[in-house]
Amino acid sequence: MNREEPETALSVMEGVAPPPSINPRLTAARRRPLPPASEMLAQIRQGDRAALSRAITLIESALPAHRRLAGELLDLSLPLSGNSIRVGITGVPGVGKSTLIEALGRLLVEKRDHRLAVLAVDPTSAATHGSILGDKSRMTFLSAHPRAFIRPSPTGGSLGGVAHQTRETIQLCEAAGFDVILVETVGVGQSEVAVHGMVDCFLLLMLAGAGDELQGIKRGVMEMADVLAITKADGENLIRAKVARQQAINALNLLAPPVGGRRPPVRLCSALDGSGIEELWGDVEEFIAHGRQTGEFARRRAEQAVAWMDDLVRRILLERLLERPEVQARREDLEGWVRAGTLTSRRAAEKLLETIEGNF
């Protein structure tokens, strides 16, 4: 902005001096308009990280004006996106996700010449104030590296909303020239499903010594995994890690054979001594290369894009319908009856749907 701006909103009125209690800098900052989408994109493409951060904040904003601008930005960035490897990383809290991302990231930016973006999907973070990536202390190297970009999970809102914003952030990061995107997710709830739906390769981390129950990892999550790793395979833990690897292989053998017939590899690794890290990335690359060869890679991305569209339609439709004043009023009445126990939830839902249908 090189246009001369008045110092405060009040000084616009000639002859009226601004009262001394008003902080001119605060007022000026609040009024600073966002640049048009094309300008924002140009800044992002030039490697302006602050511009990328601002654009992501825009995507996460609920303000209608911001949403419009974010939509334009995403339209413009679409042809520039897609040129990356998207990898999801999941595992129970404490399994070593952040430490592994730091080790893997170091390999990618230092030895492999990649530009790496690390994102997170953590629907619990609104309550806990951000567990994933909230604390960058496990990623000190990446945090300071010019070829790496770290962005914590969006907060506040449903898993659907958080996942949706992360997908759009992936697109922006790709337009900014990042060619590997790692998406960290907590190994609880439905967040794995959401992240699985936005990546090319889904990496499941597991701990050694947790016995047969596989530390509460649901079968469904194992079924989604494209590559597995037993973490912390170092020191005295190495023997137990080897046992855990065999258990994981056995568990995978009990599952239905995956599409294409390839069982996911199970790798031993340690972010502490660095063993298995290059090999683990090799597993990811091999999975991607195989997918590219068979067409599975493109098919998966295309399916994800369509599923994303369907998901958006449902979310936005529901949002718009529930926002209507008549529907809101009816909902409040029904909620009262349901709370009082005078109406079943099912019957109340039917009645609300009747109101919605009557509103078309």
Ligand X SMILES: Nc1nc2c(ncn2[C@@H]2O[C@H](COP(=O)(O)OP(=O)(O)OP(=O)(O)O)[C@@H](O)[C@H]2O)c(=O)[nH]1
Contact residues: ligand X, CB under 6 A: 91, 93-99, 131-132, 138, 231-232, 234, 270-272
Q: Which is nearer to ligand X, 47 or 93 (CB)?
A: 93
Residue 177 Ramachandran class (φ > 0 left, ψ -120 to 50 alpha, else beta): left
The residues facing 149 across adjacent strands are 117
Nearest distance in Å: CB 166, Mg ion: 16
Shortest distance, position 97 Cβ to Mg ion, whole Å: 5
Q: Which does 272 bind (CB under 5 to 8 A by kind): ligand X, Mg ion, none?
A: ligand X
Would you say 268 and 230 are in contact if contact means Cβ atoms under 8 Å apart?
yes
CB of 264 to ligand X, least distance (A): 19
Q: Which residue is nearest to Mg ion (CB)?
A: 98
Minimum Å gap between C-beta 178 and ligand X is 21
Tell me which of Mg ion, ligand X, none is bound by residue 270, counting a contact when its beta carbon lies within the kind-specific cut-off of 5 to 8 angstroms: ligand X
The DSSP secondary-structure symbol of 18 reads P
- Per-residue burial over 300-335, b = 16 or more CB atoms within 10 Å of its CB, e = otherwise: bbeebeeebeebeeeeeeeeebeeeeebeebbeebe
**DSSP secondary structure code for residue 269 in this structure:** -
Shortest spacing between CB 91 and ligand X, in angstroms: 6
The answer to whether 186 touches 195, Cβ cutoff 8 Å, is no
Q: Which residues contact Mg ion (rule: CB under 5 A)?
A: 97-98
Closest CB to ligand X among residues 131, 215: 131
Least distance in Å: CB of 164 to ligand X?
Answer: 22
- Return the one option of Mg ion, ligand X, none that residue 93 interacts with (CB less than 5 to 8 A, by type): ligand X
Q: What CA–CA distance (Å, rounded) separates 281 from 133?
A: 21
146 burial type by CB count under 10 A (0-12 exposed, 13-18 middle, 19+ buried) = exposed
Nearer to Mg ion, 97 or 115 (CB): 97
155 binds, among ligand X, Mg ion, none (CB under 5 to 8 A by kind): none
Query: Residue 40 or residue 89: which is nearer to ligand X going by CB?
Result: 89
Residue closer to ligand X by CB (options 28, 272) is 272
Q: With respect to ligand X, which residue has the nearer C-beta, 267 or 330? A: 267
**Positive or negative, the Cα torsion across 229, 83, 186, 118?**
positive
Rounded CA separation 233/143 (Å): 25
